[in-house]
Structure 1
């Protein structure tokens, strides 16, 4: 059977993975809720599928599943819609990946966490992720792997875009630290796991360099030759309710497992290396 990935909720991270797999001869099927995205997916070599839909027919040929859809108040929407169809083909599946978030660890006041740290989410969104992880992991004989992603950035998404749009803020909150991950490093971690499945395993996906958010904005502005935005206290910052929830957690995330078990060497181990490379790529066309 040809390697076939069904990507449920084919977003930013899944697109980066598909860009690695399609040239290797993989068949990739990607679902989207947006009709305007169908042509874009097709142009990238991905077979587009408009969601919601009946997955029964396409699952007959699937060997790998990646699910990126966020949970809602009722649980994981993919399982709610397609669990029987997925369970019907689990004997042919080599690997299933669930993209979660490091938000499941909650607030550690800037301290370190790893995959063995107790889950104590500080937000409703984090609590939903804990439940969704468990829903997937509790399916008997399904080769599920959970990837807890730190803050994602990459081309078109990150501090450069915000600075250029004039919406970046240098938000100051005492002892606030975030871990981050470049989308290309997410893709290589997923590919490495697919090559050596270990069902039930959980992996943190982040770089080696957790930093306060204002440090990243300052460095990005420096690279662009712009003055950094004025400092603003967290309590006075203008941001959406969702953006504000990200500041509920302060922690540093360890990534030893992706290196020791999957043999991954991060392409972007620090935010500085990533920002410099992203800008150089932009300028080279």
Structure 2
């Protein structure tokens, strides 16, 4: 079996590294040819360029030899770039499992209520509406071809090199306080575990929330990270006066608590990091 990953970023790369022993060949894309050469040397993966300038001409042939496809490349205003360029090749391929990485942002603001996969999507931002459209396009392809397309809606992703402890060490952390605000999170290794479980138990048309067990206020996680490491805790900043980018501010406009029962009950997933406490403990001595 062969694996192809569109978008070998933080999550796609960790999944590919975890999955490499299951596949004879792992192929993946990044946006620049120079990065492709460097990552190929680091990982041993067969790398291709897939970006706004030009695509590697070998991608279509790669897809013909692919059995499992992970789509981590984000959609743009004009839709999903993978479908725009390679839908015909994917339809004609032997690919049996397709995983599409989306976001819990498609649920919009739920006023802090608990939600699950049966909760109707209600995206508020343009980027979340684009994500929902991309989900629908991939699910439509699956329904029309019989390929097992699964959508994975991810919470806030963290892991080695990308977490609150790193921000504290680098002096980039802000302890922003907004009354009642909570976020779910998910460790990148638990995403990889979920994707591998889905490959073992594919279900065409499935939508899964990939998230931890305990939504928490962002300042609570920062405080825990500081206490765990002994790093200085930044002062509290009221959300209304915080210096945030429009995108960062928009995240605080959506408040929800996300359940993960489906990945546990259907896919048999046991999270290695069910809350931020286990996640931070695993990262406190890492760079």
User: Which of the five TM-score ranges fits, normalised by the shorter chain?
Assistant: over 0.9
Matched residue pairs, number? 278
Partner of 1:266: 271
Partner of 1:8: 6
What TM-score comes out, normalization by structure 1 length? 0.94
Separation (CA, whole Å) in 2 of partners of 1:213 and 1:26: 41
The residue matched to 2:69 in structure 1 has which SS? strand
Partner of 1:82: 86
Partner of 1:168: 173
Superposed CA offset, 1:213-233 (max 9, x none): 110011111112123111111
1:118 corresponds to 2:120? yes
Separation (CA, whole Å) in 1 of partners of 2:6 and 2:218: 31
Partner of 1:100: 102
Gaps of 5+ in 1: none
Partner of 2:76: 72
**Preserved CA contact (<8 Å) 1:107 1:249:** yes
Moved more, 217-226 or 258-267: 217-226
Q: 1:24 to 1:86 in 2, by over 3 A?
A: closer
Q: 1:239 to 1:36 in 2, by over 3 A?
A: farther
**Preserved CA contact (<8 Å) 2:114 2:259:** yes
Superposed CA offset, 1:165-193 (max 9, x none): 11111111121110000000000000000
Superposed CA offset, 1:52-109 (max 9, x none): 23422111210010001111111111111111111111xx222000000000001111
Moved more, 126-135 or 160-169: 160-169
Separation (CA, whole Å) in 2 of partners of 1:229 and 1:241: 22
**Preserved CA contact (<8 Å) 1:122 1:248:** no
What TM-score comes out, normalization by structure 2 length? 0.93
Separation (CA, whole Å) in 2 of partners of 1:111 and 1:42: 46
Partner of 1:35: 33
Separation (CA, whole Å) in 2 of partners of 1:84 and 1:122: 32
Partner of 1:53: 56
1:23 CA displacement: 3.1
Q: 1:117 to 1:216 in 2, by over 3 A?
A: same
1:25 CA displacement: 4.5
Superposed CA offset, 1:108-127 (max 9, x none): 11111101100101211111
**Preserved CA contact (<8 Å) 1:42 1:48:** no
The residue matched to 2:73 in structure 1 has which SS? coil
Superposed CA offset, 1:135-157 (max 9, x none): 11111123210000000000000
Q: How does 1:120-139 map to 2 (within 5 A)?
A: 120-139=122-141
The residue matched to 1:248 in structure 2 has which SS? coil
**Preserved CA contact (<8 Å) 2:33 2:48:** no
Separation (CA, whole Å) in 1 of partners of 2:239 and 2:92: 49
**Preserved CA contact (<8 Å) 1:94 1:197:** no
1:62 corresponds to 2:66? yes
Q: How does 1:182-221 map to 2 (within 5 A)?
A: 182-221=187-226
